[in-house]
């Protein structure tokens, strides 16, 4: 038995940590919230140079050919720094989907560009006033002579401005359910999309409403088979959610570290506040949540990598625990910091906002509860 990351993975973590330390950890995220995306772009390129973007791309497509677990250290580290942008969507969703369902042409077109850090993906799923159920996928795709014409509106699309391609859920056949939905890759450079920015509480991630007005793409852009895109996406979401958990673990780790440090230096009533059990025990609860999330996340990623029989319950339960614990831990941290915790000046609030961003991102908490229950055979 060995339930830990291996030496190479830990070594890679150190490179990434050092790189992010050098650029000031959350400094880049803060600049991003002020509308300055150039330092982020430079950072992303730097991370790609380290190999972060190519880790899980297959060797024949220009990557390192490593697995899901090799993403974990990167995700934890970028989670600590609240990295903006589409790393998760690109490397933990688009890459596994392309590797598994992509045509040779699609692989050739996208994977090596992803590996070199030049191409990113975002996801266009929700629609105005809709939810994540298949019945709410209404954006229509009409197929004629190998050309798919898209009409409709997507909402809450993250970071379109940074994306080169969108994974769009499209209704290609009549119906309410999961059948008749296709997953289509839309390249931003090839089409004209109307983008209306939406204000996001988590300003480290941009959101927008995207209107598709007779947008035409080739049917070659369908990922997997037409009308069966829902199942394709669900498969990809397993990798994505396992990865998401690791990113959350990184954020939580940073929060606990910072809060403990503060409790050791801040004095009231002639002693460090960390001596008061009201604070001390809260910190222990936070630590317990962190370590439990980490164990669940490691296992979820391992389950994906080894295609374990219990991967669905492993991933959905990890996601449920991690998203909830992230909110709890980030909120507690503000309380521990007192007045300064309530300000924009220090990072506490950034983590709370990111936690809320992830809570129902690409699937609602309720749905993941149900997914876990079904997977457990209940």
Partner 1 sequence: MDFSFTKKEEQFRQELRTWLEANLPDGWLQGEVQLDKESKEYELFLRDWQKKLYEGGWAAIAWPKQYGGRNATLMEEIVYQQEMVRVKAPPLINYVGLHMVAPTLMQIGTEEQKEKYIEKIITGEEVWCQGYSEPNAGSDVAAIQTTAVKDGDRWIINGQKVWTSFGHVADRCFLITRTSRLEKKHKGITVFLLDMHQPGVETRPIVSMDGQKDFNEVYLNDAIAYDAEIIGQVDEGWKVIIALLMHERTGIGGQVFTLEQQFNDLVALAKELNDEDEPLIKNPFIRKTMVDLYTRSRGSLLNYYRNLTKQLKNGHPGAESSMDKLLVSELTKELFAQAISMQGHHGVLWKENALMDRSYWQDNYLYSFGQTIGGGTSEIQKNTIAERILGLPKDMGR
Contact residues toward partner 1 (CB under 8 A) are: 1-6, 69, 256, 260, 263-264, 271-272, 274-275, 277, 280-281, 283-285, 287-288, 291-296, 298-299, 302, 313-314, 317-318, 320-321, 369-370, 372-373, 376, 378
By C-beta, is 107 or 280 nearer to partner 1? Answer: 280
Q: How many CB atoms lie within 10 A of CB 18?
A: 11
Question: In angstroms, what is the minimal distance from the CB of 280 to partner 1?
Answer: 5
Looking at the Cβ atoms of 94 and 242, the one nearer to partner 1 is: 242
Between 105 and 261, whose beta carbon lies closer to partner 1?
A: 261
Q: Residue 352 Cβ, how far from partner 1 at the closest point, in Å?
A: 21
**What's the closest the beta carbon of residue 325 comes to partner 1, in angstroms?**
10
CB of 301 to partner 1, least distance (A): 8
Please, which residue, 5 or 181, has the CB nearer to partner 1?
5
What is each CA distance from 338 to 210, 285, 288, in whole angstroms? 40, 18, 22
Three-state SS letters, 277-310:
HHHHHHHHHHHHHHHHHHHHHHHHHHHHHCCCCC
Minimal distance, residue 374 CB to partner 1, in Å: 9
Q: How far is the CB of 130 from partner 1 (least distance, A)?
A: 21
List the beta bridge partners of residue 210: 154, 195
**Two structure tokens written together for 164:** 């080169």
Look-up of token digits 């309530």 = 342
CB of 261 to partner 1, least distance (A): 9
Nearer to partner 1, 10 or 344 (CB): 10
Burial of 73 (0-12, 13-18, 19+ CB in 10 A): buried
Min CB(104)–partner 1 separation in Å: 32
Question: Least distance to partner 1 from the beta carbon of 330, Å?
Answer: 17
Decide whether 106 or 364 has the Cβ nearer to partner 1. 364
For partner 1, the closer CB: 170 or 248? 248
Helix 311-337 with 365-375: angle, nearest 10 deg: 140
Using the minimum distance from each CB to partner 1, give the nearer residue, 6 or 194.
6
Other C-beta atoms lying within 10 Å of the C-beta of residue 99: 16
CA distance 185 to 123: 9
Which residue number, 109 or 254, has a Cβ lying nearer to partner 1? Answer: 254
CA dihedral 144, 147, 151, 157 (to 10 degrees): 150
Query: Alpha helices, DSSP H only, in 4-103?
Result: 7-22, 27-33, 38-50, 72-80, 87, 95-101
Here the contacts of 258-266 (C-beta below 8 Å, separation 24 or greater) are 258/333, 258/347, 258/348, 259/283, 259/286, 259/332, 259/333, 259/336, 259/337, 262/336, 262/337, 263/336, 266/338
- For residue 114, which of 138, 103, 98, 130 has the smallest C-alpha distance? 98
């Amino acid at each position: 038995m060995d339930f830990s990351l291996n030496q190479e993975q830990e070594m890679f973590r150190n490179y990434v940590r050092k790189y992010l330390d050098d650029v000031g950890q959350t400094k880049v995220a803060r600049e991003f919230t002020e509308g300055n995306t150039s330092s982020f772009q430079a950072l992303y390129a730097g991370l790609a140079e380290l190999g972060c973007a190519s880790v899980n791309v297959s060797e024949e497509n220009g990557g390192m050919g490593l697995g899901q677990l090799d993403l974990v250290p990167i995700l934890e580290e970028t989670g600590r720094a609240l990295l903006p942008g589409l790393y998760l969507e690109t490397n933990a969703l688009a890459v596994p989907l392309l590797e598994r369902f992509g045509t040779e042409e699609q692989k050739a077109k996208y994977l090596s560009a992803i590996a070199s850090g030049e191409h990113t993906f975002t996801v266009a799923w929700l629609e105005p006033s809709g939810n994540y159920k298949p019945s709410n996928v209404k954006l229509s795709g009409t197929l004629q002579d190998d050309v798919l014409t898209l009409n409709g509106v997507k909402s809450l699309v993250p970071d379109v401005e940074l994306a080169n391609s969108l994974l769009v859920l499209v209704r290609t056949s009549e119906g309410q359910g999961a059948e008749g939905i296709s997953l289509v890759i839309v390249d931003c450079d090839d089409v004209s999309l109307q983008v209306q920015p939406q204000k996001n509480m988590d300003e480290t991630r941009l959101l927008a409403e995207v209107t598709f007005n007779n947008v035409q793409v080739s049917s070659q852009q369908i990922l997997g088979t037409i009308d069966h895109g829902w199942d394709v996406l669900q498969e990809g979401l397993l990798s994505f959610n396992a990865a998401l958990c690791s990113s959350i673990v990184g954020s939580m780790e940073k929060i606990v570290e910072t809060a403990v440090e503060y409790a050791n230096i801040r004095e009231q009533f002639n002693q460090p506040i960390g001596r008061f059990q009201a604070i001390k025990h809260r910190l222990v609860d936070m630590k317990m949540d962190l370590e439990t999330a980490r164990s669940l996340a490691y296992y979820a990623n391992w389950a994906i990598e080894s295609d374990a029989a219990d991967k669905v319950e492993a991933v959905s339960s990890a996601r449920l625990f991690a998203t909830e614990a992230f909110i709890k831990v980030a909120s507690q941290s503000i309380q521990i910091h007192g007045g300064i915790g309530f300000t924009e000046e220090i990072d506490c609030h950034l983590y709370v906002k990111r936690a809320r961003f992830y809570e129902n991102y690409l699937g609602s908490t309720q749905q993941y509860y149900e997914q876990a229950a079904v997977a457990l055979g209940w």
